Amino acid sequence: MLRTADTNGIQTRYSLTGPAGAPVVVLSHGLAADLTMWHPQIEALSRSFTVIAYDIRGHGGSGATPGDYSLALLAHDVLALLDALDIDKAHYVGLSLGGMIGQQFGAAHGERLASLTLCA
């Protein structure tokens, strides 16, 4: 089911699947993609995890703002989404741009990560 949350000055589109109370995995897509690229992984992971796939700012169904985007801004979007969903700690999987966001998020907010998986 697709949802939206108010995060860091935009509406962020995300999906939330899997059992309530399970460990959380956040999936962050690559440039010019959206959360639908993760459908095969969501199906497999949601058997054991609560899975959040989201559209990065300016992609898919998430809002866009004028001006340049920094990795710090995009990492803050992840933090704002976790806060909006009342999630203290999550596993993070990022592909391409999503991996770059994950690096920034880990450097700035490592205490919020259970693990960090970066894919090229």
Torsion of CA 107, 110, 112, 115, to 10 degrees: 110
Supply 64's token pair.
Answer: 């866009």
Which residue, 63, 68, 71, 67, is CA-closest to 98? Answer: 71
Which residue, 75, 63, 67, is CA-closest to 102? Answer: 75
User: Which amino acid is residue 10, in one-letter code?
Assistant: I
Average pLDDT over the chain, rounded to whole? 97
Q: What is the pLDDT of residues 44-91, one digit of tens each?
A: 999 999 999 999 999 999 999 999 999 999 999 999 999 999 999 999
Task: Using the predicted structure, report yes or no on whether residue 13 has a pLDDT greater than 90.
Answer: yes
Q: Are 83 and 32 in contact (CB under 8 A)?
A: no
Which residue, 47, 57, 40, 39, is CA-closest to 18? Answer: 47
Task: Using the predicted structure, report yes or no on whether residue 1 has a pLDDT greater than 90.
Answer: no
